[in-house]
Each structure stands twice: as C-alpha cells, then as structure tokens.
C-alpha cells in the first residue's frame, strides 16, 4: 500500500514536470480539449442536428474515426508480438510503450462512441446487470466487449510491468505471460469484430463482403506502427531514452508489407466491383468518380490512393526507409492515407446511395471537426502522459525509494 | 392535397384495464433520490395506497414534468417491466405529455391480442401517388414537422418512378451513350434510383402521365435485421407482428438504421417539432407517443389504432383503396384473400427478411 501511494505520487510528480516545449504542447492540446467539451455540450443540448449527419447518412466523422482508432489500438500488437513471440531484443525494451499507445487509442475510441451516440446519457442501458446486453446477437455488443477487454488487458500488462520496474522486483511470469499472449490474440479480435460491425449488413452492399476483416487488419498494422514510429522518433530526439534502430526498422518492414497488402486488397475490391458494375457497386463508384454529379468524396479517395501508393514506394526505397530523418515523411503519408481510406472513404459511401437508391452527400460541420480534433487532442494528451511516465520508469528516473 | 386528420375515435375513456389498476405510486415524484426498485422493496405493497395519495398531491405541483423526466431516466426496458411498472410509466408519461401539450393525452399500453398476426398488402397498380398516406401518417403519428433539414420526418416514401425507361425516343440513351446499341434500359439512370428528396414531388395533379409510384415504409419483417443488431434490445418484434421501439430505452447508436434494407428508420436529430394544436393525443406506448431527441423511430402500423380494431391511418385515408390491412391468421381477412388469389411479391425478398408487407397487382 505504501508502495502504491508512492508510485502514484512519484508518477504524477514526474509527468507534471517538463520543459517549455512540454508545457506548450500540453497547453495547446488543452485548448482543443476545452473546445471539444463545449461542442459536446452543444451537441447534447441541441441534438445531433448540429452535425452534418442525417437520416440518410447517419454515421459520419465520429464513426469513421472510431473505426480507424480501433485499428491504431490493434496496431500495438506489432510491438508486443515480435517482443514476446520472437524475443526481439529492441522491441522488448519498448513493449510497454506500445501498450500505452493501445490504452490511449481505446480511450479515444470510447470518446468517439460517446460523440456518436444520440443519447449518451443512456449508455448504462448497455451495462450488464443494470441494463440489457443483446448478447450474442448484436455485433456492437461484441465490439464493446472486446474493446473493454483490450483496454483492461493492456492496462494490466503495461502497468504491472511498470510497477515491477518501479519497485525493482521480478516479473511473475506465470501471471504475466498468459496475459501477454491473450492480449496478442485479443488485438486481432478487436479489429475483426469492428469489421464485422459494418460488414454484416446486407442492406449496405459496399460493406457487405468478407474481405473487410483482413483489410481492416492489414491497414491497422500499417497505420498503427506508423504512429508508433513517429512517437519513437520524437522520443529519441527529445528524451534520454533510446529506442533501438532494430525496433524501428522492424516496424518499418511491418508497415511496408501491410501497406502493400492493403493496397492489393483495395485493388481487388475495385476490380471485382467495377468489372461487373452492378448497382451494388454504386457506393464505390460514388467514392471513386461521383454519382449523379455529386463528387464530394472523390478528392478524398484519390488523395488517399496517392498518399498510400507514394508512401509504399518510399518505404520500398532503402535509402529513405533507413534514414530516420526522412522516415517521418512516408509514415505521415501512410497514416493520413489510411485515415481517409478507412474513415471517411469507407463509412460515408456505405450510405450513398441509401437502400432505396437516394443519392445525398455528407458535409461534416464545424462542430464535428472540432469535436473530432478535440478527442484526438485528448488522446495525445493521455498518450504523452502515459509515455512520459513509462519512459521515466524504464529510465530508472522514477524508482521506489529514490524520491526524497 | 394535405389531409388534416385528427382521429378522436379512441378517447380517454377507453383505457384498457391495465390503466385502472392502482400502482400509480410515483416514487420518482415523491422521492427522487430513491431508485424505484429499492423503494418498492422497502415500502412493499402495503404502503401503496398511502403513496397514491402522496403521488396525487405531488403531481399537482409545477415540477411534475421535471419529476416525470427524472423518473423516465431510470425506468426499465418496457419488455421487462411488470404490469405495475408499466402502469406507472404510463401515468408518468400521460402526465408529462398532458402538461407539455396542454391537452389530455392518453398513452395506451394494450398488449398484442392472441390469434393476431398483422399483415399489409399494397396494390401498386392502383396507387396514384397522391401522398395522402404520407401526410395522414405524419398527423396520426406525431412525427417531427419542422422546416430545418433533419427536423422533418416522414415514415412513408412514395417513390416516383419515371415511366418509359424503355420507350422509343430513349433508344439512343443506352449504354454506351449515344450509340443506341441497347434498346432502352439506361445504365446511367438505373430503375429504382432516386435523387435526393425525389419522393417529395409535388405535381399539379395525380396520377402523372409519365410516372408510376412505389410507396414504401417499414416492412415489419419477420426476421428483422434491425432487431438483431440492436445492442440494448430496445427494438423488437411484438407478438402480433409489428417491430416496435421502446423510445425510452433507445441509446441512439443507429445500428438499426444501417441494418435496415428498406431505409425505414429515422433518427430524431433534435427535439421533434410538434405544435401543440397538431399533436395527436391518442397514443400508444410503443407507437405514436411523442419521441425525444436522439432516438430512432419508424412505422409501427398505428398500434394505437390497430390494437383497437381500427385500420392504420394510411389505409383509412387511401382514396383508391390501394392499401389493405388485416390479420394473416384469419383466412377470411382481406389480406389473407389477397395472398391467396393475387400476384404477390415482397420487396428485396432475396435478403430473407420476410416482410409482412406485401405488394400485389391485379
């Protein structure tokens, strides 16, 4: 108990201290968070009418970000898996950082769920015992289940590891290792179930194909590690903590091939859908070329294609891949490309045309953009705190008994 | 063309027995801090009579609406409520609605009748596209009728289809464009595709020469995809057929809207715009009672009418008799006869949702 109190206070004190850069970063995030809180209040007093969503297109930016961030959360497994299954030395050192990323991503997902719901005040209706849980029929029920489980698993694994490092004890492998292996499989499950969430609706032909889960996982294992690489490079440049080259290089390899697979799957979908060009391909056709003169998403789609293809080519070039000064460029491009492809580029055209053939468009409002930005800011806020604390412990700067 | 219909045939005195049972104890009104279940457990049924008095007194106060809303926040899913709880929830709603709309509002809780399976048949040959059904539905079912986009909700769409997709003068319009290789059939305007709001057409007179009409609404599927995806089981199939929603339990996640192949469901993006004088005070708990912001709604075959042996508003108003409604379990009903004798089909039958809404032609 004594140890727990001192852990909490040491941890808090450490993460609150920082230089000007740190405070400037956290301060600007805080401004966005305040803005987010205001528009969330607005949305819950005025209703969803302040968003661009309609009865035709009723999932928008929020749902798109939710889907994407589940992928980022699952992407953490690209660190955990090589570390514990292949005993990769460089990865092993930084596993806990991946777990911290997963925790913040799942928190963001939860916040997007709140943003998406029409009645967030009734979320308790889903809780077991006091509410009703449509289990096992509802895919959304499954999704909530696996996401919560993933959050808990990562929190336990990550903070147990940090705790042991802090107190200077030994890791209890009998307790720890099974959890790690479960969390690896669990990471796959969260994104599979999220794919099932939308791919099990025959009413939406654009989503109704069995390629969805594998495509989700491929893009997740490209976007997630991209963000991790960026975070690692920031950490290397701004802290005394050194992330091994081997860890970054392995992540780059994973990104490259997952990105390649993702592009291949996109191409397969385009060929299959557009070769026959039935009415069921209208959604994809709208996305790529527009439908009935409505072309809102066309630049998004081609933007995503360019970003992904160019970044894939850049990743293939060794002199760029291995140059850590240039590496952030393809990483950012791939991350942005996948964000579009799996977010706006997947969710919105699923509703165009509607099941009765109505072609409408979706324009996200300022409220939606600010709320989305604010939730991302909140996620980065949490991520910064978690990473900072974790690095402090890994570095031995926070240690039991070290504090005065 | 607009029909102003305010049905009064089901007045307040026709309360079903459930309403006259006591249990009007409203712990939410008298003691907002205590949860209802704990309260009932603690107090037991003995204190019920004295509570009734208290509740009656409490409801006279000005904050009845606030207290009622508070109580609504903690009520159970309708299907899990005991009869007493249903009566309590009903009273709470009746009180709130009456105060809000300035008239005596009744909230019916009549259950499904045994031996009834509702069915609907529509003669697409007869439909003239007058859209009276759409307006009658809005008036009957207390839909939102605002002017801002998203404030106007209609459950029925009459899709206007252009006649002459395969006419002579369109010979050259096929695919590839201009070459006229195909006779008729136009890849660029596939049949069944409508532009935004095309079901809001307003012609001088109906039927139009160059159009056919296809009215659609909730198909009340026997295997409804919307029910399967609902994470909180707020939408479900009633024993007599219609798929209903407990508006007080809906969390507004909109999964059901994504799953519906007929685009039958609407989300209340904001508090529904329902003028006091236009509000229909004869309501059903699972049917046309006023909805709140952020919940999903849809056609329920006018439960407030059909459970009392009346036709749905759309059937009643149809000037050409294209709409037929009845009991599928009764071989002598009009709908059963139609299924037996006419050329009948279901919309999107390949999706195996098994609608109880049938289309037919003579």
Residues of A in contact with B255 (CB under 8 A): 138-140, 197
Among all residues of chain B, which has the CA nearest to that of A46? B270
**Assign residue B360 a region: left if phi > 0, alpha if psi is -120 to 50, beta otherwise?**
beta
Q: What is the 3-state secondary structure (H, E, C) of A23-52?
A: HHHHHHHHHHHHHHHHHHHHHHHHCHHHCC
Who among A54, A119, A354 is closest to B250 (CB)?
A: A119
Residue B87: count of CB within 10 angstroms of its CB = 21
Residues of A in contact with B252 (CB under 8 A): 48, 117-119, 122
Query: Residues 208 to 267 of A: which have CB under 8 A from any B CB?
Result: none
Among all residues of chain B, which has the CA nearest to that of A114? B253
Q: How many CB pairs under 8 A join A and B?
A: 156
**Assign residue B127 a region: left if phi > 0, alpha if psi is -120 to 50, beta otherwise?**
beta
Residues of B in contact with A125 (CB under 8 A): 77, 232, 234, 249, 251
Query: Residues 350 to 369 of A: which have CB under 8 A from any B CB?
Result: 350-351, 353-360
Among all residues of chain B, which has the CA nearest to that of A128? B232
Determine phi and psi for B361, rounding to 5 degrees.
-145, 155
Q: Is A201 on the interface with B (CB under 8 A)?
A: yes
Q: How far apart are alpha carbons B233 and B226 in whole angstroms?
A: 10
Does B232 contact A134 at a Cβ distance shorter than 8 Å? yes
Share of chain A above pLDDT 90, in %: 83
pLDDT at A400 over 60: yes
Per the CB < 8 A criterion, the answer to whether B89 and B63 are in contact is no
Average pLDDT for residues B1-12, to the nearest whole number?
A: 39
Question: DSSP letters of A150-208?
Answer: HHHHHHHHHHHHHHHHHHT----HHHHHHHHHHHHHHHHHHHHHHHHHHHT-TT-TTT-
3-state secondary structure of B215: strand
Does B263 contact A204 at a Cβ distance shorter than 8 Å? no
Per-residue pLDDT tens digits for A104-119 = 999 999 999 999 999 9
**What ranges do the domains of chain B cover?**
12-102, 110-162+197-362
Q: What is the per-residue pLDDT for A133?
A: 83
Report the length, in residues, of chain A: 404
Q: How far apart are the first and last CA of chain A?
A: 18
Residues 6 or more apart whose CB falls under 8 angstroms from that of B258 comprise A58, A59, A198, A201, A203, A204, A350, A351, B229
What are the tokens at A259?
């990105």
Q: How far apart are alpha carbons A227 and A229 in whole angstroms?
A: 5
pLDDT at A124 over 80: yes
Q: What is the per-residue pLDDT for B39?
A: 43
For residues B225 and B178, which has the higher predicted lDDT (pLDDT)?
B225
What is the value of pTM for the model shown?
Answer: 0.87
Does B269 contact A47 at a Cβ distance shorter than 8 Å? yes
pLDDT at B19 over 60: no
Residues of B in contact with A67 (CB under 8 A): none
B110-162+197-362, what's its fold?
A: Alpha-Beta Plaits (3.30.70)
Does B231 contact A138 at a Cβ distance shorter than 8 Å? yes
Spell out the long-range contacts of B55-60 with Cβ–Cβ below 8 A and sequence spacing 24 or more.
Answer: B55/B24, B55/B25, B55/B26, B55/B29, B55/B30, B56/B24, B58/B26, B58/B29, B58/B30, B59/B26, B59/B29, B59/B95
Q: How far apart are alpha carbons B18 and B116 in whole angstroms?
A: 20
Does B194 contact A140 at a Cβ distance shorter than 8 Å? no
Which of B48, B73, B98 has its CA nearest to residue B276?
Answer: B98
Q: What is the per-residue pLDDT for B177?
A: 54
Residue B16 confidence class, pLDDT cut points 50, 70, 90: very low
pLDDT at B172 over 50: yes
Q: What is the 3-state secondary structure (H, E, C) of A269-312?
A: HHHHHHHHCCHHHHHHHHHHHCECCECCCHHHHHHHHHHHHHHH
Q: What is the per-residue pLDDT for B166?
A: 61
Q: How far apart are alpha carbons A130 and A219 in whole angstroms?
A: 37
Q: What's the Rg (C-alpha) of chain A?
A: 22
Q: What is the per-residue pLDDT for B25?
A: 39
Which of A368, A372, A270 has its CA nearest to residue A58?
Answer: A368
Per-residue pLDDT tens digits for B48-96 = 434 444 444 444 445 566 676 778 888 888 988 999 999 999 999 999 9
3-state secondary structure of A372: helix
Determine phi and psi for A54, rounding to 5 degrees.
-135, -175
3-state secondary structure of B217: coil
Average pLDDT for residues A260-288, to the nearest whole number?
A: 93
Residue A259 confidence class, pLDDT cut points 50, 70, 90: very high
Does B267 contact A55 at a Cβ distance shorter than 8 Å? yes
Does B294 contact A48 at a Cβ distance shorter than 8 Å? yes
Does A358 contact B195 at a Cβ distance shorter than 8 Å? yes
Test the A interface: residue of B152, B194, B195, B258 with most A CBs within 10 Å: B258
Q: What is the per-residue pLDDT for A291?
A: 84
pLDDT at A193 over 50: yes
Q: What is the per-residue pLDDT for B14?
A: 39
Which of B230, B248, B288 has its CA nearest to residue B88?
Answer: B248
Does B254 contact A119 at a Cβ distance shorter than 8 Å? no
Residue B208 confidence class, pLDDT cut points 50, 70, 90: confident
**Does domain A31-394 sit in CATH 1.20.1630.10?**
yes
Does A355 contact B263 at a Cβ distance shorter than 8 Å? yes
Q: What's the Rg (C-alpha) of chain B?
A: 23
Share of chain B above pLDDT 70, in %: 72
For residues B64 and B40, which has the higher predicted lDDT (pLDDT)?
B64
What are the tokens at B84?
């007493």
Residues of B in contact with A55 (CB under 8 A): 150, 153, 257, 265-267, 269
Report the length, in residues, of chain B: 362
Per-residue pLDDT tens digits for B311-330 = 999 999 999 999 999 999 99
Which of A367, A368, A328 has its CA nearest to residue A344?
Answer: A368
Q: What is the per-residue pLDDT for A396?
A: 87
Per-residue pLDDT tens digits for B279-292 = 999 999 999 999 99
Which of B272, B269, B264 has its CA nearest to residue B146?
Answer: B272
pLDDT at B31 over 60: no
Q: How far apart are alpha carbons B108 and B18 in whole angstroms?
A: 9
Q: How far apart are the first and last CA of chain B?
A: 26
Residues 6 or more apart whose CB falls under 8 angstroms from that of B78 comprise B86, B89, B246, B248, B249, B285, B286
Beta-bridge partners for A359: B195
Angstroms from B260 CA to nearest CA on chain A: 6
Question: DSSP letters of B302-357?
Answer: -HHHHTTT---HHHHH-TT--EEEEETT-TTSHHHHHHHHSEEE-TTGGG----SE
Q: What is the per-residue pLDDT for A127?
A: 85
Does A119 contact B194 at a Cβ distance shorter than 8 Å? no
Among all residues of chain B, which has the CA nearest to that of A203? B261
Q: How far is CA B104 from the centre of its chain?
A: 21
Largest CA distance in chain B: 86
Q: What is the per-residue pLDDT for A294?
A: 86
Among all residues of chain A, which has the CA nearest to that of B234? A132
Q: What is the 3-state secondary structure (H, E, C) of A87-124?
A: CCHHHHHHHHHHHHHHHHHHHHHHHHHHHHCCCHHHHH
Q: What is the per-residue pLDDT for B195?
A: 60
Question: DSSP letters of B100-156?
Answer: HHTS--EEE-PPPPTT--EEEEEETTT-----HHHHHHHHHTT--B-SSTTSB--S-
Residue B192 confidence class, pLDDT cut points 50, 70, 90: very low
pLDDT at B252 over 90: yes
Per-residue pLDDT tens digits for A321-334 = 999 999 999 999 99
Q: How far apart are alpha carbons A330 and A345 in whole angstroms?
A: 20
Angstroms from B333 CA to nearest CA on chain A: 30
Question: DSSP letters of B221-272?
Answer: -SS-HHHHH-TT--EEE-TTS-EEE-TTT-----HHHHH-TT---EE--SS-
Task: Give how far Cα A214 sits from Cα of A69, A221, A343, Å.
Answer: 16, 11, 16
Which of A12, A39, A138 has its CA nearest to residue A398?
Answer: A12
Does B229 contact A144 at a Cβ distance shorter than 8 Å? no
Per-residue pLDDT tens digits for A28-60 = 999 999 999 999 999 999 999 999 999 999 999
Per-residue pLDDT tens digits for B291-304 = 999 999 999 999 99
Does A54 contact B190 at a Cβ distance shorter than 8 Å? no
What are the tokens at B66?
């606030």
Average pLDDT for residues B6-28, to the nearest whole number?
A: 39
Does B294 contact A198 at a Cβ distance shorter than 8 Å? no
Average pLDDT, rounded, for chain A: 93
The dihedral through the CA atoms of B42, B74, B68, A41 has a sign that is positive
Residues of A in contact with B253 (CB under 8 A): 116-118, 140
Per the CB < 8 A criterion, the answer to whether B224 and B122 are in contact is no
Does A119 contact B157 at a Cβ distance shorter than 8 Å? no
Per the CB < 8 A criterion, the answer to whether B241 and B119 are in contact is yes
Lowest mean pLDDT, pick from A108-112, A392-396, B6-10: B6-10
């Amino acid at each position: 108990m004594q140890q727990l109190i001192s852990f909490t206070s040491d941890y808090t004190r450490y993460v609150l201290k920082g230089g000007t850069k740190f405070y400037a970063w956290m301060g600007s995030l805080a401004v966005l968070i305040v803005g987010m809180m205001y528009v969330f209040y607005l949305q819950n007093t005025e209703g969803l009418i302040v968003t661009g969503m309609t009865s035709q297109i009723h999932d928008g930016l929020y749902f798109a970000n939710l889907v994407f961030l589940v992928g980022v959360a699952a992407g953490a497994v690209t660190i955990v898996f090589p570390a514990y299954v292949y005993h990769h030395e460089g990865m092993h050192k930084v596993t806990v950082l991946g777990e911290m990323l997963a925790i913040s991503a799942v928190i963001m997902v939860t916040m997007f769920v709140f943003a998406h719901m029409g009645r967030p005040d009734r979320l308790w209706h889903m809780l077991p015992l006091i509410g009703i849980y449509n289990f096992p029929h509802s895919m959304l029920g499954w999704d909530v289940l696996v996401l919560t489980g993933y959050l808990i698993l990562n929190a336990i694994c990550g903070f147990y590891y940090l705790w042991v490092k802090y107190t200077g004890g030994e890791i209890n492998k009998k307790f720890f290792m099974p959890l790690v292996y479960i969390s690896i499989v669990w990471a796959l499950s969260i994104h599979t179930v999220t794919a099932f969430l939308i791919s099990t609706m025959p009413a939406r032909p654009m989503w109704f194909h069995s390629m969805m889960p594998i495509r989700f996982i491929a893009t997740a294992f490209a976007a997630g590690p991209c963000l991790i690489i960026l975070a690692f490079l920031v950490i290397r440049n701004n802290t005394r903590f050194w992330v091994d080259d081997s860890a970054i290089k392995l992540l780059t390899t994973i990104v490259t091939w997952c990105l390649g697979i993702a592009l291949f799957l996109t191409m397969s979908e385009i060929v299959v859908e557009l070769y026959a060009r039935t009415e069921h391909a209208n959604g994809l056709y709208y996305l790529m070329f527009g439908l009935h003169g409505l072309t809102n998403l066309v630049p998004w789609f081609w933007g995503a294609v360019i970003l992904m293809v160019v970044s894939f080519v850049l990743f293939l070039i060794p002199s760029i891949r291995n140059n850590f000064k240039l590496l952030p460029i393809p990483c950012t491009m791939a991350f942005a490309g996948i964000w579009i492809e799996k977010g706006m580029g997947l969710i919105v055209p699923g509703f165009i045309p509607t099941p009765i053939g109505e072609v409408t468009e979706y324009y996200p409002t300022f409220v939606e953009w600010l709320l989305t930005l604010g939730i991302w800011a909140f996620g980065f806020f949490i991520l910064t705190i978690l990473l900072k604390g974790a690095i402090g412990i890994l570095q031995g700067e926070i240690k039991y008994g070290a504090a005065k | 063309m607009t029909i102003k219909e305010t049905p009064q045939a089901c007045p307040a005195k026709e309360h079903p027995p459930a309403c006259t049972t006591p249990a009007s104890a409203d712990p939410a009104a008298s003691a907002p801090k205590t949860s209802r279940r704990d309260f009932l457990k603690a107090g037991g049924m003995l204190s019920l009579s004295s509570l009734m008095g208290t509740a009656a007194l409490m409801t006279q106060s000005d904050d009845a609406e606030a207290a009622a809303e508070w109580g609504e926040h903690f009520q159970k899913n309708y299907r899990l409520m005991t009869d007493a709880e249903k009566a309590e929830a009903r009273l709470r709603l009746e009180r709130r609605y009456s105060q809000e709309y300035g008239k005596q509002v009744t909230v019916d809780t009549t259950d499904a009748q045994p031996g009834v399976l509702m069915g609907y048949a529509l003669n697409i040959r007869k439909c003239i596209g007058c859209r009276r059904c759409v307006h009658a539905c809005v008036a009957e079912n207390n839909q939102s009728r605002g002017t801002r986009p998203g404030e106007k909700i209609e459950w029925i769409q009459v899709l206007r289809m252009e006649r002459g997709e395969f006419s002579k003068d369109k010979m050259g319009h096929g695919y590839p464009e201009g070459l006229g290789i195909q006779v008729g059939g136009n890849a660029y305007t596939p049949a069944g595709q409508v532009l935004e709001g095309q079901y809001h057409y307003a012609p001088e007179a109906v039927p139009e020469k160059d159009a056919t009409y296809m009215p659609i609404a909730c198909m009340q599927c026997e295997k409804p995809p919307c029910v399967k995806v609902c994470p909180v089981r707020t939408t479900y199939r009633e024993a007599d057929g219609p798929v209903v929603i407990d508006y007080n339990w809906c969390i507004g996640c909109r999964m059901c809207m994504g799953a519906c192949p007929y685009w039958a469901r609407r989300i209340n993006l904001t508090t529904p715009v329902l003028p006091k004088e236009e509000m229909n005070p004869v309501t059903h708990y699972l049917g046309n009672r006023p909805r709140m912001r952020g919940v999903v709604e849809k056609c329920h075959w006018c439960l407030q009418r059909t459970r009392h042996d009346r036709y749905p508003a759309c059937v009643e108003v149809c000037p050409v008799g294209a709409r037929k409604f009845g009991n599928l379990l009764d071989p002598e009903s009009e709908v059963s006869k139609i299924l037996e004798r006419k050329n009948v089909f279901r919309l999107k039958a390949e999706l195996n949702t098994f609608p109880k809404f049938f289309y037919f032609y003579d």
